[in-house]
A and B are shown apart, each in its own frame.
Chain A
Amino acid sequence: MSPVNYLYLAALLFTIGATGVLLRRNAIVVFMCIELMLNACNLALVAFSRMHGNLDGQIIAFFTMVVAAAEVVVGLAIIVSLFRSRHSASVDDASLMKL
């Protein structure tokens, strides 16, 4: 088996995650889908790292995880405060950005 298959899997997971972002209204699920996309990227980075025989890809995947952690913390805080004020976690409820 060729390790390229990992890349195909990563692409598939990324696409599923992206489609989920577009389809789901619950902000928490949307967030999960974003995590899924990030994980797919990480998988691709790890596979690349293996293909090219150096560890830089893993380093970047590591940083991605750190950033994802930070992002989740802030994002979930935002969701919580939104929920407090609106009693809803739907992203469609926050639709004031229109003309």
Chain B
Amino acid sequence: MENLIALLIAAPLLGAAVLLCGGRRFDRVGHLLGTALAATSFVIGAALFANMLTKSVDDRALHQKLFNWIDVGGFQADIAFQLDQLSITFVLLISGVGTLIHVYSIGYMEHDERRRRFFGYLNLFLAAMLLLVLADNYLLLYFGWEGVGLASYLLIGFWQHKPSAATAAKKAFLVNRVGDIGLSIAIMLMFTTFGTFAFGPVLGSVGETSEGMLTAIGLMLLLAACGKSAQVPLQSWLGDAMEGPTPVSALIHAATMVTAGVYLIVRSGAIFNAAPDAQLVVVIVGAVTLMFGAIVGCAKDDIKKALAGSTMSQIGYMILAAGLGPIGYVFAIMHLVTHGFFKAGLFLGAGSVMHGMNDEVDMRKYGGLRKYMPVTFVTFGLGYLAIIGFPGLSGFFSKDMIIEAAFAKGGTEGWILGSITLLGAAITAFYMTRVMLMTFFGEKRWQPDAEGHLPHPHESPKSMTIPMIILAFGSVFAGGFFSIGDRFLNWLEPVTGWDHGHAPISATTVTAATVVALLLGVSIAWVMYGRKARPVPVVAPRGSVLTRAARRDLLQDDFNHVVLVRGGEHLTRSLVYVDHTLVDGVVNGTAASVGGLSGRLRKLQNGYARSYAVSMFGGTAVLIAATLLMRAV
């Protein structure tokens, strides 16, 4: 069975190679080929999963070493894969959701003349993402990490004829680079500390390493996670990344790639467990991002950007859970999987709405769509109920677990984190209800497009609705399936470990509080956006200071501009100044003084034998003086 692991990656990689290098002759079958290869990957993953289920708990991890990649003295790196419970979970999520989104894209990208290329990029992404989660060492993981970054860049900028898309792609790439530096530093630190990159030896010898070094590695890993998973302070790229085609947003910027940071932290759990300071920072980052994303999500009128804020917030939940240590690892992954279902479903639904509304993204120009797009409405609605944590649906279970885990952290910290997660749940309910109400309920606020045509909303083709339906099923049942009987917990515990913590309040109380928060959020949203007496204005009102700030992504770009760009400019200018004056001054000064000195010394070489004789004679006198002095001393 081990030999199948490489095939998981090889299938989409082959697709990418064929579609990207094969040229126009694959235009007609490109999308089918890409989808088939993604599906192949999923089938292999499912087979491996089934095989894993038959084995005993201790015997489930598989390893496959393809070949020795780098062999330079003590620097050893293999192309080797590790398939354990955590990896297979990701494999199934990535290839499963990936396949569905391939199918969806067949319909969504039907009229795009570069569809073959799009599917090539999607396959490339799948291959890189699978490599990321299957790697058995950090260096190979880094390879995959950069690969998904590349695919993300290519897909965000897929419509590069739009300047905004090209800029967004560049922004995403650059911000990710900051995080990638963190990952590379972490890997270098690991190599100097442990002498290897492989997960087994690194995580196994954590006990023999100083806490300071582990904290440093942990913080660098967190920086990497922040970049890839759009956490504060490297969150600014995700909102702009919505310039990419909607399937891309669903697959890469909601379900899979942005969760790579969570995977990285959970995979490196041993390091974080031994470095409480790093863990604390992880928790703080998660909590801040949770609130940040939620607040941004409340103010956005662009449906995809509202969902992007929500994604950020939900990943904040996961990072927070991962920062809680063994209490939260399992729930972070569980929320990650359920989120993968419902957020992908929501994005696909948003894409379907845009498909029917002439690519209009402003929710203030939607309204009353439930009658025109029933399938979209139902699937989107199920996703909505799942994300707000409606009892019985996926989000309810996974989010509830995280809130419980936050309380179970214990002490003041536990109370603070628990409250934040509860508040976050309420805000989630608010903004998702707002999205739902503005899109599918209320009056029609449709506006004619640039050519003066009013949109004619219609249900999307089957290739688009079927993936949405499947994902809706996942949104509804996945949480319950995982939670009942602690299936998911038992499944992952051998890899990530589990600690039930010491909850100050009972699970029932937490659940009740969650439901109350949810109802609160929904009802506030209903009061503000749902009542007939207060129709939603087509042009956004000015709003409070907070609203305006939230519309500008809580001034994140302004902050970056003022602090980083301006600061960088000033730093550069001062460095240039220093370079011009000090460094060049020293260099030119040295050259000038040497030149001047040479010019003067040159005059000594006047060619007159008598001048040379004077030097010799003077030198003899000096020698005699030195001899006498030495004797005198």
Binding site for B on A (CB under 8 A): 18, 21-22, 25, 91-92, 94-99
Report yes or no: A96 in contact with B607, Cβ–Cβ below 8 A: yes
5 contacting pairs across A/B (C-beta < 8 A): A22-B614, A95-B608, A98-B608, A99-B602, A99-B605
Whether B526 is near chain A, meaning CB under 8 Å from some CB there, is no
Report the nearest B residue to A21, measured CB to CB. B613
Q: How far is the CA of A94 from the CA of B610 in the complex (A)?
A: 11
Report yes or no: B605 in contact with A98, Cβ–Cβ below 8 A: yes
Interface residues of B in 599-625 (CB under 8 A from A): 602, 605-610, 613-614, 617
Partner of A98, one of B606, B613, B617: B606
Report the nearest B residue to A23, measured CB to CB. B610
Contact residues in B for A92 (Cβ distance below 8 Å): 608-610
Contact residues in B for A99 (Cβ distance below 8 Å): 602, 605
Report yes or no: A91 in contact with B605, Cβ–Cβ below 8 A: no
Q: How far is the CA of A22 from the CA of B614 in the complex (A)?
A: 6
Report the nearest B residue to A92, measured CB to CB. B608
Contact residues in A for B602 (Cβ distance below 8 Å): 99
Q: How far is the CA of A21 from the CA of B617 in the complex (A)?
A: 10
If the complex has contacts A18-B617, A22-B617, are A91 and B610 also in contact, measured as CB distance less than 8 A?
Answer: yes
Report the nearest B residue to A91, measured CB to CB. B609
Min CB–CB distance A31 → chain B (angstroms): 12
Q: How far is the CA of A91 from the CA of B602 in the complex (A)?
A: 20
Q: How far is the CA of A17 from the CA of B41 in the complex (A)?
A: 103
Report the nearest A residue to B614, measured CB to CB. A22
Contact residues in B for A98 (Cβ distance below 8 Å): 605-608
Min CB–CB distance A90 → chain B (angstroms): 10
Min CB–CB distance A18 → chain B (angstroms): 6
Contact residues in B for A25 (Cβ distance below 8 Å): 610
Interface residues of B in 39-68 (CB under 8 A from A): none
Q: How far is the CA of A96 from the CA of B610 in the complex (A)?
A: 13
Min CB–CB distance B609 → chain A (angstroms): 5
Contact residues in A for B606 (Cβ distance below 8 Å): 95, 98
Report the nearest B residue to A19, measured CB to CB. B617
Report the nearest A residue to B602, measured CB to CB. A99
Report yes or no: A97 in contact with B607, Cβ–Cβ below 8 A: yes
Report yes or no: B605 in contact with A94, Cβ–Cβ below 8 A: no
With A21-B613, A99-B602 given, name 15 new contacts (CB 8 A).
A18-B617, A22-B610, A22-B613, A22-B614, A22-B617, A25-B610, A91-B610, A92-B608, A94-B609, A95-B607, A95-B608, A97-B605, A97-B607, A98-B606, A98-B607
Q: How far is the CA of A64 from the CA of B227 in the complex (A)?
A: 90
Q: Which 10 A-B pairs have the closest CB atoms?
A: A98-B607, A95-B607, A97-B607, A95-B608, A99-B605, A91-B609, A98-B605, A98-B606, A22-B614, A92-B608
Min CB–CB distance B244 → chain A (angstroms): 70
Q: How far is the CA of A97 from the CA of B604 in the complex (A)?
A: 11
Min CB–CB distance B449 → chain A (angstroms): 82
Min CB–CB distance A34 → chain B (angstroms): 10
Interface residues of B in 248-286 (CB under 8 A from A): none
Contact with A along B301-328 (1 / 0, CB 8 A): 0000000000000000000000000000
Min CB–CB distance A89 → chain B (angstroms): 13
Report the nearest A residue to B617, measured CB to CB. A18
